Amino acid sequence: MIIVLVGPPGSGKGTQAQVLCKKYGIPQISTGDMLRAAKASGTLDPQYRAIMDAGGLVPDAAMIGLIDKRIDADDCKNGFMLDGFPRTVPQAEALEQLLAARSLRIDAVVQLDVSRSLLEERLIHRRTDKKSGQIYHLVYSPPPPDAELEHRADDRPEAVGKRLDAYEAMTAALLPYYEDKALLRRIDGVGAPAEVTSRVLGALGGSQAEGS
Ligand code: AP5
């Protein structure tokens, strides 16, 4: 199963991917996480680091190269969930070619819809546990006292506005691209995370979320 998760920054792609991937037994491929890991290990091109911190988009060619390598890993044999890729039409076209070369195709593109004011609120209060990668929200999903919390550089208010603007500009073309291919499933991303998971599973033709 190959699923693409699309949605503005803060719409819950990472939160949903962590649950859905466990359920389907497939890996989450988050280009944002891959870039942050490269940044943390000091291997990220300083130009890309500056782009990310400011809320811009890393060039398409670099992102396509990352995905080209990643989808050949052993854990991708039964499928994978792409979180944050593709973000532009050239990335979407390149993905289609990468998959076709491996006789694969996308099963569904899930778009999480959340209003801009709620997105800002979610991002500014997001914290991630450095050790486990678990995503928290200081109000809606408070972290345990022993969590080692990290506040992303691009979650500062000035970068958040730029990221939301970039997303709106980009989806103007990306969403119609997938709509034309009848792959797009629009999901209301507002509500408790488990409710959103149930909506996604419903749209994918799966069962209800475990434990809900
Ligand atoms: P990336 O890491 O992909 O960031 P993003 O798309 O901006 O998405 P986020 O991770 O910010 O949000 P999310 O939707 O995963 O929300 P989350 O689940 O964390 O990319 C970072 C950067 O890398 C980009 O800006 C770009 O520079 C670069 N990049 C990456 N991919 C690229 C590409 N393909 N091309 C070019 N550049 C690329 O949730 C957010 C908060 O809300 C959390 O606190 C969470 O607890 C809370 N929350 C989640 N769901 C709910 C809910 N239902 N109710 C209440 N709170 C909720």
Model pTM score = 0.92
Separation of alpha carbons 16 and 23, rounded Å: 11
| pLDDT confidence of residue 51 | 94
- What average pLDDT does this structure show over 17-34? 96
Is the beta carbon of 18 within 6 A of some atom in ligand 1?
no
Instruction: Write down how long the chain is.
Output: 212
pLDDT for res 157: 87
Q: Residue 176 pLDDT more than 60?
A: yes
User: Half-sphere exposure of 40 toward its Cβ, with a 13 Å CA cutoff?
Assistant: 11
- The reply to whether ligand 1 has any atom less than 6 angstroms from the CB of 115 is no
Residue 210, pLDDT above cutoff 80: no
Q: Is 7 in the pocket of ligand 1 (CB under 6 A)?
A: yes
From the alpha carbon of 85, which atom of ligand 1 is closest? Answer: 34
Contact 67, 31 (CB under 8 A): yes
**Separation of alpha carbons 3 and 81, rounded Å:** 5
Asked whether the predicted pLDDT for residue 212 surpasses 70, the reply is no
Residue 136 confidence class, pLDDT cut points 50, 70, 90: very high
Residue 208 has pLDDT above 50, yes or no: no
Q: Confidence band (pLDDT; 50, 70, 90) for 172?
A: confident
Q: Which residue has the tokens 């749209």?
A: 203
Q: How far is residue 13's CA from residue 8's CA, in Å, rounded to a whole number?
A: 9
| Phi and psi torsions of 109, nearest 5° | -115, 115
Among the atoms of ligand 1, which is closest to the Cα of residue 59?
36
Residue of 4, 5, 6, 13 with the most ligand 1 atoms within 8 Å of its CB, for mutation: 13
Average pLDDT over residues 172-193: 95
Q: What are phi and psi of 3, to 5 degrees?
A: -120, 140
Is 186 among the catalytic positions? no
Give the mean model confidence (pLDDT) for residues 157-166.
90
Taking the CA of residue 56 as reference, the ligand 1 atom at the shortest distance is 27
Average pLDDT over all residues of the chain: 93
Q: Is 87 a catalytic residue?
A: yes
The pLDDT score that the predictor gives to residue 206 is: 59
Distance from residue 101's CA to the centre of ligand 1 (Å)? 29
